[in-house]
Structure 1
Amino acid sequence: MDQFISAFLRGASENNFQQLAKEFLPHYSTLISKAGGMLSPETLTGIHKALQEGNLSDVMSQIQEAISAAENAVLEVAVIGQSGTGKSSFINALRGLGHEAEESADVGTVETTMCKTPYQHPKYPKVIFWDLPGTGTPNFHADTYLDKVGFANYDFFIIISSSRFSLNDALLAQKIKDAGKKFYFVRTKVDSDLYNEQNAKPITFQKQKVLQQIRDYCVTNLIKTGVTEPRIFLISNFDLGMFDFPKLEETLLKELPGHKRHMFALLLPNISDASIELKKHFLREKIWLEALKSAAVSFIPFMTFFKGFDFPEQEQCLKDYRSYFGLDDQSIEEIAEKLGAPLADIKGELKCLDFWSLVKDNSIIAQATSAAEAFCAVKGGPESSAIQALKVYYRRTQFLNIVVDDAKHLLRKMETVNVA
């Protein structure tokens, strides 16, 4: 059991809320990833104050509000680039779609975006990527561009180029900065540049040297056009695990508000063990909050019957985790097709698909525990709180660990096919 939740159960039963309030913030800081957590400073202050006052109802409601805000966050991302720069491919990659998928953004070497076009994430409809007209279009005017595309609606801007960033890109970046929004320069098609350079200079070719040259060229060009300390991210739309995409992920996560940070972390593709672990870290924080909320709720008599973590909620939790890590039924079918393997064989290798095998326990101890749980739920108090917090924490953690292991297993298989 988590150290703070154990302390919470002990402290709440002894009415030692001052000590709990003292330990809350330091412990929370050890839980969150290096990119940050999902609780805002205001929420952290509110929970700390509620603990000081021993107001468990307020602790519960503030945690629930934070979780709801993260689950229902609206995220709108503006992607700007000239024709042929890889703008649409970038959008498709973040949405987890191939270029031939029915809902994919149009990919072409001619200008396919003459007006702003929204693309919803297939799993998260409140996450929208906006394909905006490039700065090289005839009607681009830096002074009016942001107003025309409705800049206030976007959480951040991605400015894309496949060669050098133009003066128009630099002017637009300054306008975005003046409007109080974040922007990031993304240099695409780096894998193509490396391939061409290696073919042209097979003897003297040095990968890291070429990458540094590309980066220096972009930085120097932007500085000349007036951008101070530009941040450049080199990526391949066809292999997001290469180059600077992980660094771009981390930067975006750090600079988003907490509730939107959580949403963005969930939609990121499983490109490496590190990306899977990053997503796991955010979900572990949420599990901790769910367990803490359950502990607070269960002190109140009968509340567990209304807000308990029973089989329907557990089954939905497992389904959610599978979806977050690309192990929902549709994704597994697509993976089997890419691997050229029978679907039944792939499913047979995964432990997360059979919910009942994970939760079924007909032992006498399990039956006695279930009876004790129901009895304690009627009274509420520390016994009910301990039972529910333990159940929520351990069951969710069990599901998460199993899904993460399965996700890493399929990633290994996909990497083997890609190498071959």
Structure 2
Amino acid sequence: MDQYILAFLKNSSIKNFQHLANDFMPHYSTLISKVGGILSPETLSNIQKDLQEGKLNDAVDKIQESLAAAENCILEVAVIGESGTGKSSFINALRGVSSEEEGAANTGVVETTMEKTPYQHPKYPKVTFWDLPGTGTPNFLPDTYLETVGFTSYDFFIIISSSRFSFNDALLAQKIKEEGKKFYFVRTKVDNDLYNEEVTKPKSFKRERVLQQIRDNCLANLSNIGVPEPCIFLVSNFNLDNFDFPILQETLLKDLPAHKRHIFALLLPTFSDASIEIKRDFLKEKIWLDAVKSASLAFVPFMPIIYGFDLPEQEKCLKVYRKHFGLDDMSIEEIAEKLGTSIQGIKTYIKSLDFWQLVKDDSIAAKARSCAECCCSVNGGAISAVFQLLKVYFLHLKFLDTVANDAKILLHKTLKRAGDVAQR
């Protein structure tokens, strides 16, 4: 089991709160993702102070408040661009839907966004992507643009172009900066540019050189129109694992407030092993924080019975993890169709669809543990806490690792299938 949680149980039972406080921060810093964690620096500092003062319940309350804030946060993302820039396709890619699916953002070569249009994420309804027209249209003039679109409600702005960024884009970026909001320049359709360059100049074509030219042109363009040292992200809406999208993903996560990182990390498509690992890291952090919380609650008599992790809760937990990694029932059907196989065929090489196989344990030892757990839960205390953690902590990790590994297997099979089709 996690060494800190073992120490947490031991030090809590003997009331050695100074050790609890000293160990908490260093351990948490090794646990979180490279893009940050769920707990803000202020919350971490307050938790450590509570532990030093022996206020275990207060520390647990702060952990619970942070977890609730992460679960219930609202995220509003503004995506701005002229017609034909790939703005709607970018939104669809982030939402994990194709342009032909019901509820997809409208795409086309003519102007399809004449007013601000919200698109909820299909799996995370508290996350909304706003498709906003480019500045300069009759209803969205540069001087009044932010007021017209209601800029205060958005967490950050993504300004999109498929060629050159305009003076209006630069003016808008300056106004967003003055209002204390974050903005990011995204250059789309990079794959189209590479294809056209390779077709027209097959002998001299060099992929990295063309990408650098695109980047340099965007930088020079924005610098010339008044944006000093702009940060440009080159993306393809149809191949998110290519170009700068992984860097954009990490940048957005680092810049978001701590309680909003969690939901944004979970909604991003699992387009690479790295994106799967980021999700796994965030969920591991949550499991660890839940374990610390459960360890404290289990000292109280009957608490494990009231807030127990029974079979229905365990199955619900597994389904939640599957949803986060795009392995829910509907997604599995879509993946099976892409791979040209049946759901039964998919079951032959992934494990997270079989809940009972993951939790089944008919051994005498398991039955004895269950009886002992019930008895200890009545009285509470350190032994009760150990039993709860053995069940909850390890089972959560088992579910998470199984689902994440399955997601990688399906990702590689889908990429291989796409590669085989492209070669035909």
| 1:52-131 equivalent positions in 2, closer than 5 A | 52-131=52-131
Equivalence map 1:242-321=2 (5 Å):
242-321=242-321
Q: TM-score scaled by structure 2?
A: 0.98
- What is the Cα deviation at residue 46 of structure 1? 2.2
Secondary structure of 2:90's aligned partner: helix
Pairing 1:265-414 to 2, within 5 Å after superposition: 265-414=265-414
Q: Which whole-Å CA distance do the structure 2 matches of 1:145 and 1:243 have between them?
A: 31
Counterpart of 2:103 in 1: which secondary structure?
Answer: coil
SS of 1:79 mapped into structure 2: strand
Indicate the residue corresponding to 1:169 in structure 2: 169
The offset of 1:343, in angstroms, is 2.5
Secondary structure in structure 1 of the residue aligned to 2:238: coil
CA deviations over 1:315-344 (Å, ceiling 9, x no partner): 111000000000000000001111121222
In structure 2, distance between residues paired with 1:102 and 1:29? 42
Could you say what the CA RMSD is over the residues aligned between the two structures, in angstroms? Answer: 1.0
Q: Say if 1:78 and 1:156, in contact at 8 Å, map to a contact too.
A: yes
The answer for the alignment partner of 1:201 in structure 2 is 201
- Give yes or no for contact 2:140–2:148 (8 Å, CA) kept in 1: no
Equivalent residue, structure 1, for 2:12: 12
1:350 alignment partner, SS class: coil
1:22-33 matched pairs, under 5 angstroms: 22-33=22-33
Q: CA separation in 1, counterparts of 2:44 and 2:378?
A: 31
Deviations 1:228-272 (A, max 9, x none): 110100000000000000000000000001111000000010111
Q: Which moved more, 1:10-19 or 1:232-241?
A: 10-19
1:36-59 deviation per Cα after TM superposition (whole angstroms, max 9, x unaligned): 000012221221122112222222
Seq. identity, %: 66
Please list every run of at least 4 consecutive aligned residues from structure 1 whose deviation after the TM superposition is greater than 6 angstroms: none
1:136 is displaced (CA, Å) by 4.2
For structure 2, the residue ranges without an aligned partner over 5 or more in a row are none
Structure 2 counterparts to residues 218-257 of structure 1, below 5 A? 218-257=218-257
Q: Which deviates the most, 352-361 or 340-349?
A: 340-349
Shift of 1:60: 2.1
Does the 8 A contact of 1:82 with 1:136 survive in 2?
A: no
Shift of 1:115: 0.7
* Equivalent position SS for 2:159: strand
Q: Does 1:3 align with 2:28?
A: no
CA contact (8 A) 1:290 1:392 kept: no
Alpha-carbon displacement from aligned partner over 1:126-179 (angstroms, at most 9, x marks no partner): 000000011242343222100110000000000000001000000000000001
Q: Distance in 1 between matches of 2:391 and 2:15?
A: 23
1:77 aligns to what SS in structure 2?
strand
SS state at 2:158 partner: strand
TM-score by length of 1: 0.98
CA deviation map 1:345-383 (0-9, x unaligned): 113322001111111111111111011111111111111
CA distance in 1, matches of 2:155, 2:193: 31
3-state DSSP of counterpart to 2:212: helix
Look up the SS of the partner of 1:78 in the other structure. Answer: strand
